[in-house]
A and B are shown apart, each in its own frame.
Chain A
């Protein structure tokens, strides 16, 4: 009994640490549909995943995709748990202090969503209960621009939607494309965008460790290449009827 436990223990110690080799390890979150999510068979899917695969094919690299909870995704990169983040990450000054970015691979806007019946508008934000995901630019925008609002931060975007449905939140602030996908779904039918986007200069890029700028450059070139040969547009069309670049 004890011997077999020890064997199990030693086995796990030896087998689990992954040593960086020629393969690139890429992290994504897996809870941010349609960009990255885990389906019923347990596989990671989504726009980010397809782009990551196209980029790896273009670069001729062996890629391994790992999932990582969002608020630990940058610390995990810095700790060397993986080499790059392809998880719909916006470029922000704070993040640029911690990591380096490639050229953007799509751009984004922030917009409020609320129930169809609600007369909520962006101007009412300061007196409302508003949800956003922890450690996102949406959460940051709220903290910077409407600090007097009742801001609730969630571990995942999905939990924020769950609470919009339960009525705990008056509105959610999130990326428009993520909201678009959800508004198109059955659950999202009773909700709509409210007002104009509050922020529209949101560039989404691939993050690498500081000092790995050469890798970022390789990603930037690969993005340009898949834009040029139409691979990007094909992936784009699978998710959205409009160009998100």
Chain B
């Protein structure tokens, strides 16, 4: 495949895509833990907010959420900042807008995953912790969380794979990720097929590597567990 000297740019774009995916996923995990805790144990208004969040976000197109965050979030942030007495403009880079939009979107999916995982932990485990005199935070960190990770891992892995693919949408708001660099190359070479196929295979490589990594993690976290297959 002749990339006509655009190889380095595609590589740079790929690196941006990888960074965007990892940072967004980390934020989505945090948002998911918060959302799941709110839905499982929070006061009623917080629970309702959680339901509204997961209910609407999962019905909105990712592209729309990205556009909404990019155009709208900066205004909202500046409004909040100015009420706090901060007068300088705070600009939102396409990267940050992408992280916020993807995290907001996928945080809803992660909330549902963690909620399901939290429900699988027997009440007896917490009670055992209490009997040992552990505090709530300690029980969460030492008993609940390690088990939640394990239960949530397969579903989270699938969600991360979708997130990697959805990073391509951030190119629409001008982030110079793999997709946008590919479009720039197409504009030059007038060979859309060649370059979009190249991009497709790079994305395929990213998702294949991620799948391998998830399997490796799954094997490690289930180490010492009894499974049906022995």
Contact = CB atoms under 8 A, between A and B. Distances in A.
The answer on direct contact between A and B (beta carbons under 8 Å) is yes
B173 A79 contact: no
A24 to B, nearest CB: 12
Interface residues of B, number: 36
Most B C-beta atoms less than 10 A away, residue of A69, A82, A187: A69
B84 to A, nearest CB: 15
Main secondary structure of the interface of B (DSSP, over half): helix
Interface in B160-175: 172-174
A156 B91 contact: no
Nearest to A19: B88
B211 to A, nearest CB: 18
A228 interface: no
B74 interface: yes
Most B C-beta atoms less than 10 A away, residue of A79, A81, A155: A79
B90 to A, nearest CB: 6
Given A31-B187, A40-B188, A82-B91, A72 B74 contact: no
B70 interface: yes
B174 A12 contact: no
Interface in B17-64: 19, 22-23, 26-27
Interface string A71-108: 01001101111100000000000000000000000000
A69 B224 CA distance: 52
Interface of A: 5-6, 8-9, 12, 16-20, 25, 30-31, 37-38, 40, 42, 67-69, 72, 75-76, 78-82, 155-156, 158, 162, 165, 187
Given A19-B88, A40-B9, A78-B75, 4 more contacts: A31-B184, A67-B174, A80-B78, A162-B186
